Amino acid sequence: MTHAYRSHTCGQLGIDHAGQDIRLSGWVHRVRDHGGLLFIDLRDHYGLTQIVIDPASSAFKMAEKVRSEWVIRVDGKVQPRPAGTENHELPTGLIEIAAREITVHSEARELPLPVFGDTEYPEDIRLKYRFLDLRRERIHNNIMKRGAIIDSLRARMKGQGFFEFQTPILTASSPEGARDYLVPSRVHPGKFYALPQAPQQFKQLLMMSGFDRYFQIAPCFRDEDARADRSPGEFYQLDIEMSFVTQEDVFEAVEPVLRGVFEEFGGGLPVTQKFPHIAFKDSIRWYGTDKPDLRNPIKMQAVTQHFAGSGFKVFAGMIASDPKVEVWAIPVKGGGSRAFCDRMNSWAQGQGQPGLGYVFWRELGDSVVDEQLARAFALVAETPQGRKLVAESGGAVPGVGTKLSAVDTAILNFGLQKLQLEGKLHEAASWWSKYMESAGPIAKNIGPERTEAIRNQLGLNVGDAVFFVAGVPAKFYKFAGEARTKAGEEMNLIAKDQFAFCWIVDFPMYEWNEDEKKVDFSHNPFSMPQGGLEALETRDPLTINAYQYDIVCNGVELSSGAIRNHKPDVMKKAFEIAGYPEDVIIEKFGGMYRAFQYGAPPHGGIAPGVDRIVMLLCNEPNIREVVLFPMNQQAEDLLMGAPSEATPKQLRELHIRLNLPEA
């Protein structure tokens, strides 16, 4: 026994070690004192080992003294546990250590935060005692998984010929974007460095320096308020940039990295194999957001024409008064009950909306097949799909006088759809009135034919519902998206247990700033506009898209990227449209603008957020569960006590005098 602290770790010993004299060091996880016999679960980074102390043991006196989270050393012999007392939950559960001697490395005071167990604790206490919190199994594992994920990301990037670079932390403030963290310069009174919001300009400069394929696990600093999925202050990106690439080349480089890492660490959950491309415009229209959760099957559609000139005066009037007004439908399979529709309606009211109009479809009670329907069933049964349905209903076409069953309803629905395809809306509507009904105030107002047309367009059946949102889409799409999410959650339609990825592409280059009545860059000002200089010179800026894209997974925006604008004349024009003359470009982006003048390769990149990737893979709803020492919502580090006051000497050196707000 030569090592001062341990011969093995607490996760290492098994039945093969039985009989060996060993030495372990670790934390006292849990003590079970039986008076005569005493057990200690000893924990280190690697695992848990049961120590057993017999009253006859020389270690017994000390064993009775130790408490949770003391750090101790145990000398003893590995022995198989007596038959029947093995713990198969524990990797080391077949053995235990018969202690001969226990020495205390370090005692622990009464804990503000128990390590044992998985109770929730208040965040401020967890952050103040983060070192204790980090001993706890779940977050300890999260942090280790984070490291493994980053290793894997690195290996996958290097495997594709990317090279890792380090870019400056103290750099220049950049306009637009988030608020910068500033660092005062001692040497240059009154001047400040800024911490990089992202190494955006540096990675582009690397391309202009001829390095071709850059990546970095890059720290980024933004002085913005926190969210559950957004740390205040700092976070990490897998920052990527490539030369001589189109948008497709970037997708092909990044997709396998993300797919691979999600397959490797996603606990075997299925991962989208080929990420679908969804245009920004479509994403808004279908999902009401530019970060859609594709696990939710609900896809919205415009049904404006069915309301134009209809008896539902509220919508019809809006449509007549403004050509921009649309009515969007949120179809909800299985949502066809009064209770659910009312619940959605009152939820909408809670969101400050006037309500949520709906239609749902149900069978008329005690519907019986009449001659007309029996004839229709016979016709339907001739078609392949009809044959299948009839087979499911028991092989017989329902005859006159029989009661409608659930499967008959499916046949009926199929027949109705056929009628509609043939344009026989009137006949379809008359069927409805006989065997089924549409419920909800809107159905009554617009009448059976329009209701039936909506049902058909959305492919809905008995037992389904649809909700309507009307107005100018730009103003209501967000709420529509929330209603889609709400309905999906309420009806349990969201297929959890998968990673559903997509690319959102064709982001608009500019957007209208209503406050300042001007055109703004809607995302990255360095993005290449689709159509290049010609588009900038000839088209309405608000209709121009950029080669700008996002990756979204399960409704979480994982990253944003773009093909960059590497042409000085295009850049000059692009900034001019947003109201920035050339001297502003030179002042704010001088280094990069200069580089563009001396041979810039076409290039582009992307920057997936590492913390969010880890969060998804650890199945954590909060980013602080995957960050070692996060700050709280007020951007304070409660453990280190940051931010803190500077001494007068420090301030003097920095030429700074405080001008504090009145208390």
- 584 touches RNA by CB under 7 A: no
Cβ–Cβ contacts within 10 Å for residue 31, how many? 17
Cα distances (Å, whole numbers) of residue 19 to 52, 77, 86: 15, 6, 17
* Interatomic CA distance for residues 625 and 23, integer angstroms: 33
Q: Which of 3, 106, 122, 273 binds RNA (CB under 7 A)?
A: 122
- We find the least distance from the C-beta atom of residue 9 to RNA, in angstroms, to be 18
- 121 touches RNA by CB under 7 A: yes
- SS3 per-residue string spanning 310-378: CCCHHHHHHHHHCCCCEEEEEEECCCCCHHHHHHHHHHHHHCCCCCCEEEEEEECCCCECCHHHHHHHH
Biggest CA–CA distance in the chain, Å, is 98
- 114 touches RNA by CB under 7 A: yes
- SS3 per-residue string spanning 537-589: HHCCHHHCEECEEEEEECCEEEEEEEEECCCHHHHHHHHHHCCCCHHHHHHHC
- 123 touches RNA by CB under 7 A: yes
- 177 touches RNA by CB under 7 A: yes
* Interatomic CA distance for residues 154 and 8, integer angstroms: 31
* Interatomic CA distance for residues 297 and 496, integer angstroms: 11
- 171 touches RNA by CB under 7 A: no
Nearer to RNA, 391 or 642 (CB): 642
* Interatomic CA distance for residues 37 and 595, integer angstroms: 75
- We find the least distance from the C-beta atom of residue 161 to RNA, in angstroms, to be 24
- We find the least distance from the C-beta atom of residue 115 to RNA, in angstroms, to be 11
Q: Which of 61, 186, 191, 227 binds RNA (CB under 7 A)?
A: 227
- 55 touches RNA by CB under 7 A: yes
- We find the least distance from the C-beta atom of residue 596 to RNA, in angstroms, to be 16
- 489 touches RNA by CB under 7 A: no
Interface region with RNA, contact rule CB under 7 A, candidates 295-303, 389-397, 398-406, 521-529: 521-529
Closest to 403 in 3D by CA, of 366, 443, 375: 366
- 525 touches RNA by CB under 7 A: yes
Nearer to RNA, 440 or 630 (CB): 630
- We find the least distance from the C-beta atom of residue 157 to RNA, in angstroms, to be 20
Contact 466, 458 (CB under 8 A): yes
* Interatomic CA distance for residues 260 and 154, integer angstroms: 12
Q: Which of 12, 68, 402, 530 binds RNA (CB under 7 A)?
A: 68
Which amino acid is it at 265?
Answer: F
- 293 touches RNA by CB under 7 A: no
Nearer to RNA, 161 or 175 (CB): 175
Query: Tokens at residue 571, please?
Result: 């850049």
- 41 touches RNA by CB under 7 A: yes
Closest to 46 in 3D by CA, of 18, 6, 76: 6
Residues in a beta bridge with 236: 219
Interface region with RNA, contact rule CB under 7 A, candidates 3-11, 18-26, 315-323, 516-524: 516-524
φ, ψ (nearest 5 deg) of residue 448 = -65, -35
Nearer to RNA, 120 or 645 (CB): 120
Q: Which of 36, 365, 384, 599 binds RNA (CB under 7 A)?
A: 36
- 118 touches RNA by CB under 7 A: no
- 169 touches RNA by CB under 7 A: no
* Interatomic CA distance for residues 213 and 323, integer angstroms: 48
- 290 touches RNA by CB under 7 A: no
Nearest-5° angle of CA 176, CA 180, CA 182? 140
Number of residues this chain uses to bind RNA (CB under 7 A)? 69
* Interatomic CA distance for residues 287 and 480, integer angstroms: 8
* Interatomic CA distance for residues 242 and 260, integer angstroms: 20
* Interatomic CA distance for residues 18 and 36, integer angstroms: 24
- 382 touches RNA by CB under 7 A: no
Question: If you ran DSSP here, which 8-state letter would residue 623 be given?
Answer: G
Q: Which of 1, 89, 644, 662 binds RNA (CB under 7 A)?
A: 89
205 to 224, contacts with RNA by CB under 7 A? 222, 224
- We find the least distance from the C-beta atom of residue 333 to RNA, in angstroms, to be 27
Interface region with RNA, contact rule CB under 7 A, candidates 114-122, 149-157, 270-278, 284-292: 114-122
Interface region with RNA, contact rule CB under 7 A, candidates 49-57, 163-171, 318-326, 448-456: 49-57
- 353 touches RNA by CB under 7 A: no
- We find the least distance from the C-beta atom of residue 201 to RNA, in angstroms, to be 8
Interface region with RNA, contact rule CB under 7 A, candidates 83-91, 154-162, 323-331, 392-400: 83-91
- SS3 per-residue string spanning 229-281: CECCEEEEEEEEEEECCCHHHHHHHHHHHHHHHHHHHCCCCCECCCCCEEEHH
- 34 touches RNA by CB under 7 A: yes
Q: Interface with RNA by CB under 7 A: which residues?
A: 30, 32-37, 39, 41, 50, 52, 54-56, 67-68, 81-82, 84-87, 89-90, 93, 96, 110-114, 117, 119-125, 174, 176-179, 197-198, 200, 222, 224-230, 520-526, 560, 622, 624, 632-634, 636
